[in-house]
């Protein structure tokens, strides 16, 4: 099982000091946080994609390419790649290039984003969000698997005898997750292609995501990719820890109350009761995260949101130390107990190449 962090890259005023980092400081902090993630033994760093204030990660592959040169083991991913408003040709080429630079330590998560105005900024219609996601990904999937592509669709100019370059590393495209917080159509899309489904369940109650994940698992089996238990599931999470729960709650409350997304809404107590947010001791984080398996079944990837809402970099790095030293080692051990042999591990480039080679040998036998 893979553990890591994801960032949305918000530039938010620290409510306890009134200080707002510059965009330059926030971008550099994201790199430092990624390097720290590898240092403390995490497996994945994922960045979002946004094109509006107060967020800075408008060019994920630029960020991840920079991080690739400064890390050795970390899988570099996205917590959203906007499949609706980006050109699939550019996605195909950018992430194949990143694959080569990072020696295969790359995957990505497709998403539609949560900012309606981004659609017209890129010449698209938000009312066609699902249709864009379906058609654009169909083209991206094809570009990575066929050397010469002819294509005609509704949302971009046709392609004739087109080859995306560079080709995927070792002839194997990056693994793709399809992220969603509300859309069964995206769960269906992930199942159809045999891709992963990432339920970013940080804002909504678990029952909603149980339905989405169950739908994805059932449809994954329906399309012949394996049993429901063999489907690839990723989950989001959100934590803030101190040795004593009371200290964690006291320190985090002003950040929660003023956060860009859920600030000035539900209380911290209500939010922690209804969502994966855990504010407390490392043991409380362990217990709540282990309960995810009871709700959603065995899964492959757990990502935590750590650096948001104006938390200073020093605090985030302290949180990563706690996560890597006290929480993740226990989670690895406990999640491994009783895990059925047929449940796949988290996806890696090496594993995907081995699976491709095994399938070729079966065909040739």
Residue ranges per structural domain of the chain: 2-364
How does pLDDT run across 49-60, given as a tens digit for each residue? Answer: 999 889 999 999
What is the C-alpha to C-alpha distance for residues 233 and 195, in angstroms, rounded to an integer? 9
Q: In the 8-state DSSP scheme, what is residue 37? A: H
Q: CB of 239 within 8 A of CB of 323?
A: yes
- Other CB atoms within 10 Å distance of the CB of residue 167: 18
Name the residue among 358, 190, 255, 215 with its Cα closest to residue 15: 255
Q: Is the pLDDT of residue 261 over 80?
A: no
pLDDT of residue 205 exceeding 80, the answer is no
The structure's pTM equals: 0.95
31 within 8 A of 67, measured Cβ to Cβ: yes
94-108, 204-218, 236-250 — which is least confidently predicted?
Answer: 204-218
Is the Cβ–Cβ distance between 288 and 281 less than 8 Å? no
In the numeric block, which tokens belong to residue 111?
Answer: 């998403």
Choose the weakest-confidence range: 32-41, 258-267, 325-334: 258-267
DSSP 298: S
* The pLDDT of residue 117: 84
**Residue 154 bridge partners (DSSP):** none
The architecture in CATH of the region 2-364 reads Alpha-Beta Barrel (3.20)
Q: Closest by alpha carbon to 307, among 239, 236, 235, 244?
A: 239
pLDDT attached to residue 112 = 86
């Amino acid at each position: 099982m893979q553990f890591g962090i994801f960032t949305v890259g918000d530039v938010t005023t620290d409510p306890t000091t009134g200080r707002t980092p510059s965009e330059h400081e926030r971008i550099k902090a994201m790199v430092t946080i990624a390097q720290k993630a590898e240092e403390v033994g995490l497996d994945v760093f994922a960045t979002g994609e946004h094109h509006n204030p107060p967020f800075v990660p408008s060019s994920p592959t630029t960020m991840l390419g920079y991080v690739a040169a400064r890390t050795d083991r970390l899988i570099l991913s996205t917590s959203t790649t906007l499949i609706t408003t980006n050109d699939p040709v550019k996605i195909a080429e950018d992430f194949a290039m990143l694959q080569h630079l990072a020696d295969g330590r790359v995957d990505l998560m497709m998403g539609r984003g949560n900012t309606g105005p981004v659609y017209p900024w890129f010449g698209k219609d938000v009312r066609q969000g699902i249709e864009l996601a379906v058609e654009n990904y169909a083209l991206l999937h094809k570009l990575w698997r066929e050397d010469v592509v002819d294509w005609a669709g509704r949302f971009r100019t046709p392609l004739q005898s087109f080859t995306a370059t560079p080709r995927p590393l070792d002839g194997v495209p990056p693994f793709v997750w399809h992220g969603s917080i509300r859309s069964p159509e995206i769960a269906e899309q992930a199942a159809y292609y045999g891709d992963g489904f990432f339920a970013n369940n940080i804002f909504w109650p678990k029952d909603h995501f149980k339905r989405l994940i169950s739908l994805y698992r059932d449809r994954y089996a329906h399309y012949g990719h394996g049993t429901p238990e063999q489907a690839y599931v990723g989950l989001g999470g959100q934590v803030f820890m101190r040795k004593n729960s009371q200290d964690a709650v006291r320190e985090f409350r002003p950040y929660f109350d003023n956060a860009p997304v859920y600030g000035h809404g539900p209380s911290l107590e209500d939010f922690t009761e209804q969502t994966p947010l855990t504010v407390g001791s490392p043991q409380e984080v362990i217990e709540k995260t282990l309960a995810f398996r009871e709700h959603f079944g065995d899964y492959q990837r757990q990502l935590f949101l750590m650096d948001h809402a104006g938390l200073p970099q020093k605090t985030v790095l302290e949180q990563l130390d706690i996560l890597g030293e006290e929480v993740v080692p226990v989670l690895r051990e406990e999640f491994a107990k009783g895990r059925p042999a047929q449940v796949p591990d988290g996806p890696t480039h090496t594993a995907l190449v081995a699976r491709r080679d095994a399938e070729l040998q079966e065909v040739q036998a």
